[in-house]
Every structure is written in structure tokens, then in C-alpha cells.
Amino acid sequence: MIPDKAPGDDVLHASGDLKKEAHIPSFEKYKELYIKSVESPGEFWGDVAKDFFWKTKYTGKFLDYNFDVTKGEIFVKCMEGATTNICYNVLDRNVYERKLGDKVAFYWEGNEPGDEKTVTYRELLQQVCKFANVLKSQGVKKGDRVSIYMPMVVELVVAMLACARIGAVHSIVFAGFSAESLCERIMDSQCCILITADGFYRGDKLINLKLIADEALQKCRDKSFTLDKCIMLKHLTKEEALSGSLSPPAKRACPDLQVPWNPEIDLCWHSLIGGASEECEPVWCDSEDPLFILYTSGSTGKPKGVLHTVSGYMLYTAATFKMVFDYHSDDVYWCTADIGWITGHSYITYGPLANGATSVLFEGLPTYPDVSRMWEIVDKYHISKFYTAPTAIRLLMKYGSEPVQKYKRTSLKILGTVGEPINPEAWQWYYNVVGEKKCPVVDTFWQTETGGHVMTPLPAATPMKPGSATFPFFGVVPAILNESGEELEGPSEGYLVFKQPWPGLMRTVYGNHERFETTYFKKFPGYYVTGDGCRRDKDGYYWITGRIDDMLNVSGHLLSTAEVESALVEHEAVAEAAVVGRPHPVKGESLYCFVTLNDGINYNQKLEAELKKQVREKIGAIATPDYIQNAPSLPKTRSGKIMRRVLRKIACNERDLGDVSTLADSSVIEQLFENRCCTAV
């Protein structure tokens, strides 16, 4: 399946210097280890596990699973019976065993240039222990769910690791989500406490996070769910932070911020942590105990609580971080993602810390205060490994090479991308302009569900093809299936599936195992179905072609069409809605919404603005519609199913509609073409 030799033509190779020091220095070495990883996973991952501390050893099989719904319940278990603690492994082990206490864990770089601070491994451990004691004093116990709704501050890492230390399950909600989305997630996972902050700036825009958090808690109460403890970090408010805080008010102080305060519910992070002890024995967890829940869009419209467990996730994020970024102890690494998404969980918090790495934690935007900000930060901290999203690359590409070339970038060694397919043009710009042809680009394909990279080049070993995620990571066995579920050989295109688990694969959908089985395992029994399409070329390289379900990828964030549609139809004027993706030069895809209004209602600009606001309030700013079209009727089959394929063509103004013989009323089509929106709302 993987070629014996790396193909020689039309590919790009890493430099000799990189190969000399690399963990995986050649394609042959990759292939040898890959075979070991799939034929003897226990042996391969057992070697990785040797680097970690285990309170007790595992008892059963190293990796046990069933992927076949026809043979019983789907499950994946890794190192069952072993006990450990991931917080201990990423902090105490680094401080005490590896003597990295004085090493910088994070350089925090605020939204405003010059707003910065440094946190060592020892300081991080102290803060985490203190906050773990705070959580315990508030009654949080092993297995309890804790909702975290915070900006990109070091305290977000402190909060998540404090949960992990006491065996509580964190459920982080990206700080761009709305009150409604936060409420839905708090209720679904039945969280007992919420941790938030007063507010933060995104560029020059103030986000009053506490106000949104309060609104979310009110919505929970309205639905008879009570969460009566909310810990708030002062990040922007003017008052002096109390002792023990990592976050002294600096340039970012915002005297105008109105922070509502309810003494019956609200607790101050600083007051609580100020008096907390720095001693906190970790709670030893079973390998398969839950570590966190992270919600991702689901095709029914209701987000799925993806559940990851302790040991498998720890091994997988540690190993992928080390090998995909070819991590060495003198690296300074920067991943620009938000911790509210899986990329931040795996490759800002757990993977880098498990390796004792020094990272940058960035609160701001790539374009604020100007479009050179990224490269300024690269030079400031001498970043060697840099990881970002294709949408950010495309955005910066628009401004040309001059803002990049203002900075030296001589420290850069490896560049990475994640989140969506990268178009070859953006890949080339990243490689040629940002990396000056010296840095391999690792195009990492993975998902919230996979825990870490699953299809990716290894920088010194895999010859690159711009736009291809190349080959599987260790332990991952991909296949391409046709519609009938037959495995395709050689060059082919179809559904991307995986044939066996790796340690980092999700274990269930929180509270709904049936949904887990249905979503990922029912369509093709015996396989994990990614929901992505994929092509394999003559050299065996894999090219991800994008989602083949009702999911859209806007700026690297997955959204389900059903989720946006249900937000639209909740408006009293809307009878029916259908949402499709339309290609967008920066965002990858944009949201094109067709709405059918109730009888007697006229479409106008005011209504359009209301609909847009409605979606922002229901889901968050990331789901704001780009186009809304009044559609008196929608193209449907005779059985009443909306033909989205046809709507996608209309959104793109493509007249070649393919087979429309199942269409109930073809006159609808012309009307829709006539009313197309040409400019974004």
C-alpha cells in the first residue's frame, strides 16, 4: 500500500541538514517503522509508553477493539487496567524527572504587541496544583464535567490541566461560540461548574465574555438546568490581580468593561487561587477514564460530544508531535490555533507539554495590528516549528510577500498546516515565500475524532507533493472505498476510511454511544468512516478532497448545514431553509443560504440582517451566512428531498446541473438562477 521506495520525480525533498538529526530520517525508516506499528501495535506503542510514568501496569491487550457493528458493540481500548495521570506526565515528570523546571513552557503573547509573559514548567505546575485545589474546594471530583469558556490565556491551560490532575473531564467551548451554543454544550455534558474570564480583545474588538457566559447560564436555568458556580478570571478588568495570578493586568486593562457579578454564583479566580496550596497529589486514573469532551458539528445539526480518554490520547499526541514536527529540545514551537478547537488541545497543550517543549501561546490575530504580526512573532521568539491553517495562509498571501520579507524568519525549520485541504497555490506560497524553500511543509490531515494527525508527511522522510497529506502516520491503516463498500486498489477515488484503531481515536459520543456507532461505523461495517473524500495517485499518495457529507468547512471550522438551517427556520419569517457551501478564496468555503419565507412575508434587507444576526446568536460568528437568497421554492425530488447538489451549482452559477430527472418541478431552477445573490451579505 505504501510504495517500497519514495517516488523520485515531481516531489520535493527535505534538506540534508534536517535529515541528519531527524527522528525519522528516511522514507525507508518510515516504512520499516510503519510496518511494525500496524503489525505489532503493542510493541510499537509500548516503546512510546516507556517514556511515561505509570502508577500501575496495564493488564489486558495493549490495543483492543471492535470496528464491526455486525459483530457487536464498537469499542476501542488502549492499555486497559494501567493507571496514570496525564497532568503528572506533562508537568511533574518534566520538572522532577527530566529537570526541566526552569525551561519555558509558554511564551504568552497578548493581542497587543508588547503584552507578554513567560511561564516555566515549574510555575505552570504550581499554578495547576493551586487551581486543582480550588476545584476540589468547590466540590469538583473525578469524573465530573467542567465547562471552560476562556480566551487564549495561560490560565486556560492551567484550568484544563487542573481538571486532568483531579480526574475531572474538561469540556472546552471555543470563546467565539454564542450563549446558546455554550448553554447547549453545558447541558449536554451536565457540567457542574463553568470557568470563564471577564473579556478579551480580538484585534480592536472587545468581547465581553462574562456577559455571554451569564446569558448562557440563564438559558440553562430557563431549561431547568442549574449550574450555580462560575469562576471568572480577570483578564481585562482594571483592579489589581491578587497574588498567585499568572495574569497581571498590563496594557490590555479595559476600564470600560462592564462585568456583571452575582455573588451567589460568581467566584473570583484570583481570590480563590491566592489562598490555595501548591501541593496537590494527582488522582491516578485508569487508561480508559475520560479525559475530555470536545464538541464538533454533527450532520443532524446537534453537536457531538467527542470523548477522548487518558492514556491513548497521551501516547498519540506525544508521538505525533515529536515525529511530525521532528521535535528537538532546543525548538521553539508555535501553533496559531485556538485551544477551543482540537488542534489547540492536542498541539498547544498535551503534545508539546508531553515532550517538554517550549511554545508560544498567542491571543491575537494574524492581521492585528498589521499583516506582519505572525512573522514579527516568529523573529521575536526564534520560532523553529510553525503550525497554522490554510485559511490564514490564503489571507496573508493576499498582501504579497513584502510583509513577510520585512522579517528574517531564519529560525524556521518546519512549517505545518491543518484544518482543510490546502490548495497547491497556497502551499507553494507558504513553502517559497515563508519558508524560502528551506522548510518542509507538513500537511496534516486529522479530525477532532482522531485525536491527532492520521495522514501526514514526516518532514525529513516523506518527499512532498503540494496539496497532498501524503501517507498514514504510524498505526493508521487507510483504505479508499467505493459506494458499495469495496476497497479500491491503486490509483482511485472514494470514501476515506480506516481499518484499525490507533491509540488516539475517540472512544464514544458523550452520552450517546449509538450515535457514535451510527455516525462512524454503520455505513461500512468494519471501518471507521471519516466523512472525507480522498484520491490516491499513481505513487500511492493520498489527496483529501473534502467532506462528502452535509458538513461545510469554513476557515478550517466544520459546520453542519443542518445546524445553520435550524437556526434560520427558528426565525418566524422562515418556512424552510437549505444551506450549501460556495468556494471562497480565503475561507475555503462560504455559507450560501436559501430561505423560503412564510406566506405573506416580503424579503427585504431588514429581514436579511435579522437572519444573519439570528445565526450568529444561535451558533456564533463563525457561522455567519455570507449569502442569503430568497427562494420561494426549493428544488426537491418527488419524495420531497431537497436536492443540495443542484443548489450548490446554483450558488456557484454553474449551469451544468447533471442529472435532474428526479426533480419534481423543474421551473424552480430558472427562478433560483434569476434570483442568485452575487454579493455577500
Using CB under 6 A as the binding rule, whether residue 533 contacts ligand PRX is answered as: no
| Residue type present at position 378 | V
Joined grid coordinates for residue 231: 469562576
CB nearer to ligand PRX: give 63 or 418: 418
Can you name the residues that pair with 230 across neighbouring β-strands? Answer: 194, 266
Q: How far apart are the first and last CA of the chain?
A: 47
Using CB under 6 A as the binding rule, whether residue 532 contacts ligand PRX is answered as: yes
116-120/104-109 β-pairing:
antiparallel
CB of 422 to ligand PRX, least distance (A): 7
Can you name the residues that pair with 231 across neighbouring β-strands? Answer: 195, 267
Using CB under 6 A as the binding rule, whether residue 558 contacts ligand PRX is answered as: yes
**Closest-CA residue to 152 (of 199, 102, 190):** 199
CB nearer to ligand PRX: give 276 or 496: 496
Give the CB-nearest residue to ligand PRX: 448
CA distance 529 to 341: 21
For cell 480577570, what's the residue? 234
CB nearer to ligand PRX: give 27 or 495: 495
Can you name the residues that pair with 542 across neighbouring β-strands? Answer: 470, 536
Among 344, 421, 451, 463, binds ligand PRX (CB under 6 A): 421
CB nearer to ligand PRX: give 129 or 160: 160
Q: How many CB atoms lie within 10 A of CB 99?
A: 11
Using CB under 6 A as the binding rule, whether residue 342 contacts ligand PRX is answered as: yes
Binders in 435-464 for ligand PRX, by CB under 6 A = 443-448
Enumerate residues 6+ apart whose C-beta is below 8 A from 476: 38, 454, 455, 498, 502
Residues 161/128, Cβ–Cβ less than 8 Å: yes
Using CB under 6 A as the binding rule, whether residue 547 contacts ligand PRX is answered as: yes
Binders in 289-308 for ligand PRX, by CB under 6 A = 296
Using CB under 6 A as the binding rule, whether residue 176 contacts ligand PRX is answered as: no
Using CB under 6 A as the binding rule, whether residue 197 contacts ligand PRX is answered as: no
* H/E run at residue 427: helix 424-429
CB nearer to ligand PRX: give 335 or 669: 335
CA distance 214 to 183: 10
Residues 366/336, Cβ–Cβ less than 8 Å: yes
Q: How many CB atoms lie within 10 A of CB 68?
A: 13
Using CB under 6 A as the binding rule, whether residue 530 contacts ligand PRX is answered as: yes
Binders in 465-524 for ligand PRX, by CB under 6 A = 469
CA distance 162 to 132: 4
Measure the CA angle with vertex 22, ends 20 and 26; round to 5°.
Answer: 80
User: 161: helix, coil or strand?
Assistant: helix
Binders in 379-418 for ligand PRX, by CB under 6 A = 418
Enumerate residues 6+ apart whose C-beta is below 8 A from 609: none
Using CB under 6 A as the binding rule, whether residue 92 contacts ligand PRX is answered as: no
CA distance 553 to 555: 6
Residues 589/581, Cβ–Cβ less than 8 Å: yes
Residues 196/163, Cβ–Cβ less than 8 Å: no
Residues 105/196, Cβ–Cβ less than 8 Å: no
Using CB under 6 A as the binding rule, whether residue 563 contacts ligand PRX is answered as: no
Among 553, 560, 561, 629, binds ligand PRX (CB under 6 A): 553
Task: Read off the DSSP letter of residue 94.
Answer: I
Segment near ligand PRX (CB under 6 A); pick from 31-39, 208-216, 528-536, 567-575:
528-536
Cα–Cα separations (whole angstroms), residue 553 to 32, 548, 559, 562, 623: 35, 11, 6, 14, 10
> Ramachandran region of residue 482, left (φ > 0), alpha (ψ -120 to 50) or beta?
beta
CB of 90 to ligand PRX, least distance (A): 20
For cell 468547590, what's the residue? 138
Cα Rg of the chain (Å, integer): 25
CB nearer to ligand PRX: give 331 or 443: 443
Q: Mark out the alpha helices in 245-326 (DSSP H runs).
A: 269-274, 310-324
CB nearer to ligand PRX: give 36 or 523: 523
Joined grid coordinates for residue 287: 487508561
Using CB under 6 A as the binding rule, whether residue 420 contacts ligand PRX is answered as: yes
230-233/193-197 β-pairing:
parallel
**How is 605-638 classified by DSSP, letter by letter?**
HHHHHHHHHHHHHHTBGGG--SEEEE-SS--BBT
Using CB under 6 A as the binding rule, whether residue 336 contacts ligand PRX is answered as: no
Using CB under 6 A as the binding rule, whether residue 544 contacts ligand PRX is answered as: yes
CB of 525 to ligand PRX, least distance (A): 21
Number of residues located near ligand PRX, criterion CB under 6 A: 21
Cα–Cα separations (whole angstroms), residue 341 to 24, 173, 294: 28, 8, 8
How far is CA 561 from its chain centroid?
A: 19
CA distance 453 to 447: 8
Enumerate residues 6+ apart whose C-beta is below 8 A from 614: 567, 568, 570, 571
Cα–Cα separations (whole angstroms), residue 291 to 84, 171, 506: 12, 9, 11
Binding site for ligand PRX (CB under 6 A): 296, 342-343, 418-421, 443-448, 469, 530-532, 544, 547, 553, 558
